[in-house]
Structures are given as structure tokens and as C-alpha cells.
Amino acid sequence: MAFGDETQVATNKGFGTTVYLSLGSSPTAGNLGVAVLHSRSNSGTIDVLSGWTLAVRETESGDNDVCIQYRIFQSGDGTGYTFTDNDSGQKISGVLYEFDAGTNGFKSSPLDQTGSEPVDDGVTTRNTGTTGTLTQADQLVIAGAGIAAGSSSLSSPTIDSGFATVDYNDTTGSYQSVTLASHKTVSATTALNPSFSWTNSGNAIGVIATFMEDVAGGPSIVINRGLSNISAGIVVSGGGGHSGLHPVENGYIS
């Protein structure tokens, strides 16, 4: 698989303060775990799970909290993770991904750019908020939205800008918590601000985060010229795993 390919996804909903998200099999060390989460509570927020890192959070006081958390999976990590709202949550929902590290892997501190969009009431579309210009190309982008909906379920939510099919889970009954999530890899540094759409209106918040591939640098080149003849050499290091002084003869590196 290539960098940023989705290897597993899990969705679930919780009634109360916790949601349990379980992957189908143990994640691979070095791959990236990303959780997109939404809760409806009186005044709380979703705790950052031990061993995970908060990428971005947007909160509407007294009603909605939306966040993205991530972790570079380690050997021995399990399949299931419980995320908790630290107040008397009415409902909570989430989407958990595992993304392939590819050949180069993710940077040890992979988070680059984030954005968020505050709550908008009674809507059927929400942008994620605009990222800054990406520090580098070759990144995985995670888009998310949290919706405080009424008693009607969503159906077939979508997202623009070439993102993957939306993954989502919504609770049932009154005071629903709905989490939407999607992703794509990019090879340019252009800022991003995709938009989700769905049926049945709700109060919605958007979030977005980008994660960097550990792209190897190209070879460094030093030209050495002798004073008594017209010989030259090139020192090659990095990139291909070869180093040393290589003489140049007739336009070729020996």
C-alpha cells in the first residue's frame, strides 16, 4: 500500500460519556491512527486519550465538541480505544482510521496544518475551516465535522474537493451526535477548506488536519577540481544510500 492509504476504519456511537472504537485487526507499527470525534454534553469536552495527541479542537460551549486526535501506532497496540467526554455527555460518536505509512513513513512529529470552523445552526453543509499553506507536499489530509442533530438520521453525506467517501456514525433518538470524516493525500502545498453536505439540518462544526510524510532528501553534490589537471569528483550522500568520492570521466560517474 502507498503512503496515506486507508487500511482500516471503525465507526461507533455511545449513549452517555464514552464511545468505543475497534479496528478489525491489530494496527501495524509505524502506521498512523486518527480519530475524529463529536460529543454533545452540558459543558464538557472529549478527553485526549493517553498516548494520543490532540491535532485540533472546536467547541461550542454547552452543546458541541469536535476534535481530531492521532497516534503513530506502536508494536503491541490493540484494536480497541475508548474515548470519553469529561462531562455528563448526552451522546458521543466517532470514526477511527488506520493509515498506511508507505515506504518513507510518517514524520515522528507528523502534524502540519490545522483549521476549524465554529458552529453554524440549522444547516445542511459545513466547511472544515481553512488550513495554512502546507509546509511540504506529500501529506495526508483528514477532514471532519460534528453535527448536533434532531431526531432525524442523516443519509449519504458527501464532501467535495476530491476527498474519499464520507465515513460517519450517528446516534438515534433525540439530541443526536453525528461524526463525519473523510481523507485524501495531496502532492501540493495549497491550503485546503473542503465542505461536507448532508440531509436533515443540524448545528455543525468543521475541523481539518494534515499529516506529513517523512520524505527523504535528495543527494548532496560537491564538485572537487584538482589544481594540476582537469579531473573532478562528486561526493554523493543520502537519497540512495551510497556515499563517497566518485570520479567523473567523460561525463559519467564511475
* Position with higher pLDDT, 27 vs 243: 27
Amino acid at 194: P
Looking up cell 495531496, which residue turns up?
Answer: 186
CA distances from 139 to 8, 159, 194 (A): 18, 19, 15
CA-CA distance, 166 to 169, in Å (whole number)? 10
Q: What is the pLDDT of residues 14-63, one digit of tens each?
A: 888 899 999 999 999 999 999 999 998 777 899 999 999 999 999 997 77
100 three-class SS: coil
CA-CA distance, 215 to 46, in Å (whole number)? 33
User: Is 34 buried (19+), middle (13-18) or exposed (0-12) by CB count in 10 A?
Assistant: buried
Stated pTM of the model = 0.84
Q: What are the boundaries of each domain within the chain?
A: 6-213, 220-253
Lowest-confidence region among 67-76, 94-103, 235-244: 235-244
CA-CA distance, 40 to 113, in Å (whole number)? 26
Helix, strand and coil content of the chain, in percent to the nearest 5, comes to: 0, 55, 45
pLDDT recorded at residue 231: 41
